[in-house]
Amino acid sequence: MAEIDKSGQSAMIDQADERRHIIRQGLGRRRRNEAIFRSLGLAAALSAFGFVVVLFGNIVASGLPAFWQVNIETEVTFDPEVVNIEERPVLQPGQSVAEYRREDLAWQRRVSLANWNALIEAAIRQHAPDSDVDTRSILSIVDPNARFVLRDMVIENPGIVGETVPIRLLGSANADNWIKGTIDRSLPDHRQQLSPEARALADALHEEGVMRMRFASHLFTNVDSRVAPASAGLAGAFMGSLYMMLIVIVLAVPIGVASAIYLEEFAPQNRLTDLIEVNINNLAAVPSIVFGLLGAAVFINVFGLPLSAPLAGGLVLTLMTLPTIIIATRSSLRAVPPSLRQAALGLGASHTQMVFHHVLPVTYPGILTASILGVAQALGETAPLLLIGMNAFVANIPTSPLDQSTALPVQIFLWQGNENRNFFEPRTFATIIVLLGLMLSLNALAIYLRSRFEKRK
Amino acid sequence: MKSTLYVSAVAFGLAGVFAASAAEARDTIQIAGSSTVLPFASIVAEEFGNFFPEFNTPVVGSGGSGGGLRQFCEGVGENTIDIANSSRQIREAEIEVCNRNGVSDIREVMFGYDGIVFATRTDRGSFELTPEDVYRAIGAHGEDGPNTATNWNEISENHPDQRIMMAIPASNHGTREVFEEAVVLPGCQAVHGEDAEDEMCLELRQDVIIEIVGDYTETLARLNADNDAMGVFGLSFFDQNRDTLQVATVNGVEPTLETIAQGEYPVSRPLYFYVKGEHIGVIPGIEEYVEFFMSEGVNGPGGVLEAAGLIPAPREEIEANLEEFRSGGAAN
């Protein structure tokens, strides 16, 4: 018996050994598989990160130089010979306001017609007294809108005439290209934009420290300009985008959240609500350009909204953002545990009270995140805006959503097409940086608000 | 719950305000059309805004000559444009559409000329073209059977040994029409005889042309992608990018402001804008804009437009066009 036992035992031990052996073999394979999967996953994550780094690196490296621009720091004498203007009209007793306004505008136009370029030329010439450089070359290194900077100084303070004041003027786009080296400095004369005299003058001023790099704050405060590319800025596009975002927030968020609450909490399950649901889901997958066509056909042609206005753009973007907000809100409503509803109902709350007092507060972080992400998506949308005429050249800051305007992503598109490639290529990337910065801060706001609400809960 | 109600009440209130104020009069001139005219029109618009403090700066959109005239002819009213820029003359069919939609006072203003140039990258060979050579390169029909030339030096020994590839504007651009009329048709007649059919002549080899729907920046991008390609550009665009592009002569003439103004360079075209007479007096500033556009300081020798690469029309011609505009001369 004992022998049998023994042999039985040894057989069992053999079996166990064998099993252990099999397991060990399998274990090795499992560990290997796991290691392979892990390394593949890591490689995928690293390559995704690598792409992002390359993309952002490229954008930042190309765009950052555009935030600094050549400025000319000099002194301008408002020569009364040149700025020969009479006193600004004042409202006479007995004169109607309309008449006074007309006189004042006529005065402003006469001021505009003074030869401001002569003042600029004289100011530059004092830095190069012995050079016989021609007027055209001198003016070619100064931003053409400098004349309006001087004009506005006089309109604001007519007492300045006859005085010499220190001033900072922008260099022209071509001078900026030359100093920065964005145009190949070794090219022969006939391939350069500036004349040899202008280039020599720019180099001399740069060496003297009269011409130096400054942060281009006008990029944020000026409107777009074709006459003076160096002084073009994003203020108009920014305001246009802001108006559109306001319209999206005011319209898409309440409508989206309300319809999500109704569909999820109150709607009876029938054909009609099914139909609505399917269509909302389909709407989320419709390409944005289709919304642009719809906007042009409906908002502009049927409702007669103005062309190129943030109002029409905002409405189109609202349509585009609605499904995103509805779907995200519904899924966060669905994630609320049934026990919460049952508890509320069990304590005698009505259906509406249950939804607004118990369910909705829990979903605030989700709804907020969905709304902000929807708005951020709308902020970056370009295609539908092109179809409602928002890709126009606009040199005003819009004062209402009804004024013509562009938007930040459309401004990228417009500057990308500007013929002064050397100057506008870095500028385009700078605009991308501004837009990305706005997007990132919107997303950061979403994360911050979410964590705040979650803590309060 | 109350706050939600307030929010939606505010939302609908705002929507109502927007809708109501949409009915207010537009006080900014709205312009659209040719991307060749766009830089010039934008410059004039901006200067206009600076010199006329009582008017807003006009808004200038693109869309090509065809697109601009289509918008122009959509009808009369504040949600239609006031001025269409065009790099070709308005067509009969477009005038008909305009008239059908109630636009019957179409005032044509020709303001200057633009040269069309052929340019290649500076790191490639330079060209001395003739319309005949261009047709022999990209026309579908050779003298005997289909055209199969692959390199420029097969057409003439003067040309460098470079693959034939041309980026030309698509038919939404007015430039295409000028390219066909001033280059393709004369070239075709030189090859196939004076009585060659236009239809046959305009058939181009699809394998050696790239049709550019967008603007000249897209053409430039094509040249950077395919270094052998030759692009068709406006003179002003070439002028701003002469560090990367070199221009070909046509019939031995180099395109410059002077040769185009004197009519020596063969491929140039007049530029126009069309003003909707019905909007004059409704949208403020249209007449002032036109007068300012045609004034000596803007559109004259040494003016801002010439500095931007436009060849201003002769002064007498400008005066005549202005006179016709003032008296309400229609395009037809």
Contact between chains at A191 and B243 (C-beta distance less than 8 A):
yes
- Average per-residue pLDDT for chain A: 89
Distances (CA, A) of A209 to A140, A182, B59: 19, 20, 39
Whether A254 contacts chain B with CB within 8 A: yes
Residue B217: its chain A contacts at CB < 8 A? 416-419, 421
Q: What is the pLDDT of residue B194?
A: 85
Would you say residue B316 has pLDDT above 80? yes
Work out the percent of chain B whose per-residue pLDDT is above 90.
47
Q: Indicate if the pLDDT at residue B308 is higher than 70.
A: yes
* Nearest-neighbour CA in chain A from B248: distance (Å): 14
Residue A45 has pLDDT above 90, yes or no: yes
- Sign of CA pseudo-dihedral A208, A214, A219, A223: negative
Mean pLDDT of all residues in B78-99:
92
Average pLDDT (A353-362) is: 91
DSSP letters, B150-195, are -BHHHH-TTS-S-B--EEEE-TTSHHHHHHIIIIIHHHHHHHH-TT
CA distance A185 to chain B (A): 10
pLDDT band at B138 (very low <50, low <70, confident <90, very high): very high
Min Cα–Cα distance to chain A from B186, Å: 30
Chain B residues closer than 8 Å to A420 by CB: 240
Q: What is the pLDDT of residues B52-73, one digit of tens each?
A: 988 989 999 887 888 899 999 9
In the 8-state DSSP scheme, what is residue A262?
Answer: I
What per-residue confidence (pLDDT) applies to A12?
Answer: 79
Are B231 and B169 in contact by the 8 Å Cβ rule? The answer is no
Nearest-angstrom CA–CA distance, B116 and B259: 12
pLDDT at position A3 is: 56
Share of chain B above pLDDT 70, in %: 91
Inter-chain contact A227–B304, Cβ cutoff 8 Å? yes
Q: Which of B39, B60, B243 sits opposite A187 (nearest CB)?
A: B243
- Residue B253 is predicted with a pLDDT of 93
- Tell me which chain A residues have a C-beta less than 8 angstroms from the C-beta of B85: none
Among the partner residues B22, B215, B243, nearest to A311 by beta-carbon distance: B22
Judged by CB atoms closer than 8 Å, whether chains meet at B243 and A183 is answered as yes
Residue B10: pLDDT band (50, 70, 90) is low
Q: Helices B286-293 and B38-51, interaxial angle, to 10°?
A: 110
- Measured between beta carbons, which residues in chain A are less than 8 angstroms from residue B44? none
**CATH class in words for A235-456:** mainly alpha
A5 pLDDT exceeds 70? Answer: no
Per-residue pLDDT tens for A114-173? Answer: 889 999 999 999 988 777 888 889 999 999 999 999 999 998 888 888 899 999 999 999
Spell out which residues of chain B touch residue A356, defining contact as CB-CB under 8 Å.
1, 4
Lowest mean pLDDT among A74-78, B89-93, B327-331: B327-331
Whether the CB-CB separation of B168 and B176 falls below 8 Å is answered with yes
Q: Inter-chain contact B14–A389, Cβ cutoff 8 Å? A: no
Which chain A positions have a beta carbon within 8 Å of B122's beta carbon?
A: 191
* pLDDT at position A20: 86
- Residues from chain B that touch A183, judged by Cβ atoms under 8 A, are 243
Q: Is the pLDDT of residue B7 over 80?
A: no
What pLDDT score does A109 carry?
84
What is the reported pLDDT for B278? 92
* Interface contact B45-A395, CB threshold 8 A: yes
Work out the average pLDDT over A234-242.
Answer: 94
pLDDT of residue B332: 44
Whether A303 has its CB under 8 Å from any CB of chain B: the answer is yes
Span A279-332, pLDDT tens digits: 988 988 888 899 989 888 898 888 888 888 899 999 999 999 999 999 999 999
Whole-number average pLDDT of chain B:
87
Cα–Cα distance measured from residue A89 to residue A56, given in angstroms and rounded to the nearest whole number? 55
Residue B23 confidence class, pLDDT cut points 50, 70, 90: very low
- Tens of pLDDT, residues A6-30: 667 777 788 888 888 888 888 888 8
The answer to whether the CB atoms of B24 and A250 lie below 8 A apart is: no
What gap in Å lies between CA B310 and CA B240, rounded to an integer? 12
Report the phi/psi class of residue A181: left, alpha or beta, with left for phi > 0 and alpha for psi in -120 to 50. Answer: left
> Is a pLDDT exceeding 90 seen at residue B149?
no
As its CATH architecture, domain B115-268 has 3-Layer(aba) Sandwich (3.40)
Among the partner residues B1, B23, B32, nearest to A356 by beta-carbon distance: B1
A172 interfacial to chain B (CB closer than 8 Å): no
Q: Does A404 touch chain B if contact means CB atoms closer than 8 Å?
A: yes
Domain ranges for chain A, please list them.
Answer: 72-216, 235-456
Nearest 5°: the CA angle B168, B174, B178 is 70
Report chain B residues whose CB lies below 8 A from the CB of A105: 53-54
Q: Do A254 and B7 touch (CB under 8 A)?
A: yes
Q: What is the pLDDT of residue A269?
A: 86
Do A417 and B47 count as a contact with CB atoms less than 8 A apart? Answer: no
At B326, which helix (H) or strand (E)? helix B315-326
pLDDT tens digits, A387-419: 888 888 998 899 889 888 999 999 999 999 888
Can you tell me the distance from the alpha carbon of B201 to that of A159, in angstroms, rounded to the nearest whole number?
69
A167-216 per-position pLDDT tens digit: 999 999 999 999 999 998 999 888 898 999 999 999 999 999 999 999 99
Is B46 in contact with A227 (Cβ distance < 8 A)?
yes
Question: Quick one: CATH architecture of B2-113+271-326?
Answer: 3-Layer(aba) Sandwich (3.40)
pLDDT for res B11: 53
Using CA atoms, how far residue A193 sits from A174, A218, B288, in Å, is 7, 24, 33
Query: What integer pLDDT is reported at residue B1 of this predicted model?
Result: 46
Q: Name the percent of chain A lying above pLDDT 90.
A: 52
Query: Which A residues, 383 through 402, put their C-beta within 8 Å of a C-beta on chain B?
Result: 389, 391-396, 400-402
